[in-house]
């Protein structure tokens, strides 16, 4: 049984966990070198901050890939109800067939692929799904069906042309 939620707190606020009859806390508050104290009963490991680029690239090989775009496919509840899994499967199939999807070779992907395919949850297009977002372009597509995917890949991801009939929003450039 664990106590506390693992949140950071000041030393002054560190209290013993509430102990029920016959239950012993796993750990007490832990003090880290920077003075912060973990919540009681929650064993935390401080993540190591890696600065060496070579080591970072070993840990995250995608850092070496010539990534141009990231495609998010929403598989939230409402999008799933209108075929999001088929949309995701079609992106997977086409991007992998074309060698565009970055990832491990052992998973049928290309370590030097230009596109990252990511599944995400709701972005607010729930009534007009399936939602697909393309970054860094900032294009938000709605009502995407599996049969639209080839066009998005060919026109947008390969030629850089937004598919106007499906694009519901273009995010504006953030202010400098």
Which residues sit at the interface with ligand FES, rule CB under 6 A?
74, 76-79, 122-126, 129, 131
**Residue closer to ligand FES (CB basis): 29 or 131:** 131
Smallest gap from Cβ 90 to ligand FES, in A, equals 16
Smallest gap from Cβ 99 to ligand FES, in A, equals 28
**Residue closer to ligand FES (CB basis): 124 or 160:** 124
Taking CB atoms, the residue at the shortest distance from ligand FES is 76
Smallest gap from Cβ 71 to ligand FES, in A, equals 14
Smallest gap from Cβ 54 to ligand FES, in A, equals 39
Reduced 3-state DSSP string for the chain: CCCCCCCEECHHHCCCCCCCCCCCCCCCCCECCCCCEECCCCCCCCCCCCCCHHHHHHHCHHHHCCCCEEEEEECCHHHHHCCHHHHHHHHHHHHHHCCCEECCHHHCCECCCCEEEEEECCCCCHHHCCCEEEECCCEEECCCCHHHHHHHHHHHHHCCCCCCCCEEEECCCCCC
**Residue closer to ligand FES (CB basis): 38 or 75:** 75
């Amino acid at each position: 049984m664990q106590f506390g939620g693992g949140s950071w707190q000041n030393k002054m606020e560190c209290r013993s966990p509430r102990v029920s009859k016959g239950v012993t806390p796993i750990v007490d508050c832990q003090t880290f070198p920077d003075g912060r104290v973990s919540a009681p009963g929650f064993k935390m490991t401080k993540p190591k901050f890696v600065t060496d680029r070579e080591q970072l690239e070993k840990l995250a090989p995608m850092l070496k890939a010539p990534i141009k775009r990231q495609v998010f496919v929403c598989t939230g509840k409402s999008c799933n109800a209108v075929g999001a899994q088929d949309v995701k499967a079609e992106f997977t199939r086409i991007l992998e067939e074309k060698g565009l999807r970055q990832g491990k070779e052992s998973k049928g992907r290309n370590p030097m692929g230009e596109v990252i395919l990511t599944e995400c949850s709701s972005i607010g297009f729930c009534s007009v799904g399936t939602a697909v977002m393309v970054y860094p372009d900032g294009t938000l597509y709605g009502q995407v069906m599996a049969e639209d995917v080839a066009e998005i890949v060919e026109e947008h991801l390969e030629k850089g042309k937004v598919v106007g009939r499906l694009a519901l929003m273009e995010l504006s450039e953030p202010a400098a």
